[in-house]
Homo-oligomer: A and B are copies of this chain.
């Protein structure tokens, strides 16, 4: 097991996370940072436009320094809006030239899943650190190539697991680690939504690698792992597709179960069929706790069996994630969400798909 994923680590990480939150950072670091880390956004779709670029404006340690896009029109709009010079605008084919641009320290890869290795490896070869959106790629092999490329370049690789920085999720991790309700027994987690536009890349397996399990089920899988603080030893899964026209070669819905070494059982479900599932509940010896909604960009809150609510102040998770990565780079310390964390999820998701295909329980190493 990756030691970064141990119970001990996450407990430590929770503390770090508090220190890295923007509002906490203000008091802890009275002085302005010596320099801001330059981010180039690679892929200017909806997430970059509506979440990441605005979040960059709220960071303390980061600045938007460049863009990488295949669409010249988008480049022009972004240059105008964010005052980006011509020399910091790239296409996917010209990423090697990033090597000559000292303004850019990090490439944030926000392209479709199946292009993450291509773009991460190109960025690493150009000597840049990489922050890559989840899911990391479409296969464990691709994830390993990304890890190897960044290691060879001596650069950091982080995966965009923003909830590792989200206070309500961290509070649930605390309730689990401190055994506030006793030993954990069971975790139930689900995330799904009604997918729209049938032409989008999420529905094309070669770009997405799979259906809702890859896209949003991964959040429920993550919750099972960070709440239990363990790695699953076996998984079983059922895929379920009614609309075989829209969902040609990916699952429409999927339910899975995992066993953890301590005996904790976890049940998950994910779907592209309907809205409204965005939650997890952890059952322990003497009670339960959980979030609903659990995974959004905001509005996260939850309940405990003793009647208390879980509703810590929200923050911009993307800003927190980028500021943390920038600090890791500035202070030369490892990120808490490294490529190995993404690889681990990809191995589990691959096992989940194998179980759904074969109808057998799949053991995990």
Residues of chain A touching chain B, judged by Cβ–Cβ distance below 8 Å, are 185-186, 188, 190, 236-238, 240, 242, 253, 255-257, 259, 263, 265, 267, 269, 271, 273-277, 283-284, 287-288, 355, 358-361
Number of copies: 2
CA distance A186 to B277 in the complex (A): 9
B185, B242, B253, B284: which contacts A273 (Cβ < 8 A)? B185
- Asked whether A238 lies within 8 Å of B240 as measured between CB atoms, the reply is no
- Asked whether A188 lies within 8 Å of B283 as measured between CB atoms, the reply is no
Expressed in whole angstroms, the minimum distance between the Cβ of A313 and any Cβ of chain B is 21
> Are A185 and B276 also in contact (CB < 8 A) when A255-B267, A271-B265 are?
yes
- Asked whether B186 lies within 8 Å of A271 as measured between CB atoms, the reply is yes
- Asked whether A273 lies within 8 Å of B265 as measured between CB atoms, the reply is yes
Find chain B residues with CB under 8 A from A188 CB: 190, 269, 277
Give the nearest-CB partner of A186 in chain B: B274
Can you spell out 25 A-B residue pairs with CB atoms less than 8 angstroms apart?
A185-B274, A185-B276, A186-B271, A186-B273, A186-B276, A186-B277, A188-B190, A188-B269, A238-B255, A238-B355, A238-B361, A240-B257, A240-B259, A240-B361, A255-B255, A255-B257, A255-B267, A267-B267, A275-B283, A276-B283, A276-B284, A276-B287, A276-B288, A359-B359, A359-B360
B185, B253, B358, B360: which contacts A265 (Cβ < 8 A)? B253
Find chain B residues with CB under 8 A from A283 CB: 274-277
CA distance A355 to B355 in the complex (A): 13
- Asked whether B269 lies within 8 Å of A240 as measured between CB atoms, the reply is no
- Asked whether B253 lies within 8 Å of A240 as measured between CB atoms, the reply is no
- Asked whether A259 lies within 8 Å of B242 as measured between CB atoms, the reply is yes
CA distance A163 to B267 in the complex (A): 25
Find chain B residues with CB under 8 A from A276 CB: 185-186, 283-284, 287-288
Give the nearest-CB partner of A287 in chain B: B276
B190, B236, B274: which contacts A238 (Cβ < 8 A)? B236
Expressed in whole angstroms, the minimum distance between the Cβ of A290 and any Cβ of chain B is 11
CA distance A269 to B257 in the complex (A): 10
Given A237-B238, A238-B256, A265-B274, 14 new contacts (CB under 8 A): A185-B273, A186-B276, A188-B277, A190-B267, A238-B238, A240-B257, A242-B259, A255-B255, A263-B273, A265-B271, A265-B273, A276-B288, A358-B359, A359-B359
- Asked whether A240 lies within 8 Å of B255 as measured between CB atoms, the reply is no
Find chain B residues with CB under 8 A from A269 CB: 188, 257, 267
Q: Which 4 A-B pairs have the closest CB atoms?
A: A359-B359, A185-B274, A276-B283, A236-B238
CA distance A279 to B277 in the complex (A): 15
CA distance A265 to B257 in the complex (A): 17
